[in-house]
Amino acid sequence: MKLKQRVVLLAILLVIFIFTKVFLIDNLDTSAANREDQRAFHRMMAGLHVELDPRLEHTLQSPWEIAAQWVVPREVYPEETPELGAVMHAMTTKRIIKADVGYKGTQLKALLILEGGQKVVFKPKRYARDYVVEGEPYAGYDRHNAEVAAFHLDRILGFRRAPLVVGRFVNLRTEIKPVATEQLLGTFLTVGNNTCFYGKCYYCRETEPACADGDIMEGSVTLWLPDVWPLQKHRHPWGRTYREGKLARWEYDESYCDAVKKTSPYDSGPRLLDIIDTAIFDYLIGNADRHHYESFQDDEGASMLILLDNAKSFGNPALDERSILAPLYQCCIWQLCCKS
């Protein structure tokens, strides 16, 4: 073989060797990165795991007192919550000592008081798990399991702005009716062999009650925020009109965000960024019904937007309602508050 041919062959072999080394190094780097990603994922999952253990270690406080102490202006519960399982266990098991109609609103709910004096909101099951709600993205009854799922997504994203929610089965005949107020008791009826109630709300009708399976009703239980943190209700700047043929300004004015930025409390502080965080959260859960929102009172725009009333979510898994993201794509800003 001539020298020139040997040099060319050697050069080709050298190139192949270099590419092989680079490829192997890249693979090793990628594998190492993948392993680190997997470790980070497992650490996150371990941190999110909740053991529904009724024991409260090293404390003489009740679970309700502990949960009340968690609340601060920018979060409902802290990132490190070793007592979370005990509080959630209490929400699912503590005896119901009083039941009343729910607070004002459009959807059926009951206000319960648990042993120890803790208020909770009970939303009854209205649909089977696999039921798909057709029509407008805000159509249908509240979905109790949507409240549960939304709470856990709030934990995963690291927002910590949603009150605690658990699922619970209650016996309407033995747990609710004996402690119900006359106002709530007057809405009970029997449909076939099932105990039902229709409560009191804007859309509550005797013809559309929520019915148990016999006497056993599944529902969600949401922990009431402490009375020392009174809430203030606000109209959402990107709320819908809910009127056929009538659009809200944000639906036709692409510069709408500029007007919002000039009004209080969106002209300073974190409130506008909270609105955008909430839009992303609502898009993920499919909630197109956040026409109002709550913050803490007298906060001058400094408190968080509290993620209450998430039950108009997860209605149709095939529907991605882009308009929910209007605050994001019209304002083009976003605070990176989620877990990495």
142 among the known binding-site residues?
Answer: yes
222 among the known binding-site residues?
Answer: yes
Residues 13-38, mean pLDDT to the nearest whole number: 58
Look at residue 291 in the predicted model and tell me its pLDDT. 94
Q: 186-190: long-range contacts (C-beta < 8 A, 24 or more apart)?
A: 187/101
Look at residue 339 in the predicted model and tell me its pLDDT. 45
pLDDT band for position 55 (cuts 50, 70, 90): confident
pLDDT band for position 61 (cuts 50, 70, 90): confident
pLDDT band for position 34 (cuts 50, 70, 90): confident
183 among the known binding-site residues?
Answer: no
Decide which of 35 and 255 is more confident: 255
In the annotation, is 267 catalytic? no
Of 100, 154, 277, 289, the active-site residue reads 289
181 among the known binding-site residues?
Answer: no
224 among the known binding-site residues?
Answer: yes
- The tens digit of pLDDT for each residue in 233-268 reads 999 999 999 998 899 999 999 999 999 999 999 999
225 among the known binding-site residues?
Answer: yes
Three-state helix/strand/coil letters over 30-97: HHHHHHHHHHHHHHHHHHHCCCCCCCCCCCCCCHHHHHHHHCECCECCCCCCCCHHHHHHHHHHCCEE
Q: Strand order in 165-171's β-sheet? A: 96-101, 110-114, 118-124, 216-223, 165-171
Residue 50 burial (10 A CB sphere; 0-12, 13-18, 19+): middle
Least confident range of 16-30, 47-61, 258-272:
16-30
Look at residue 252 in the predicted model and tell me its pLDDT. 96
Look at residue 122 in the predicted model and tell me its pLDDT. 98
How far, in Å, CA of 144 to CA of 220, rounded? 5
- The tens digit of pLDDT for each residue in 285-331 reads 999 999 999 999 976 778 999 999 999 999 999 999 999 999 999 99
Instruction: Enumerate the domain spans of the chain.
Output: 63-223, 231-331
- The tens digit of pLDDT for each residue in 133-184 reads 999 889 999 999 999 999 999 999 999 999 999 999 999 999 999 999 999 9
Compute the mean pLDDT over every residue in the chain, rounded to the nearest whole number: 88
Look at residue 4 in the predicted model and tell me its pLDDT. 43
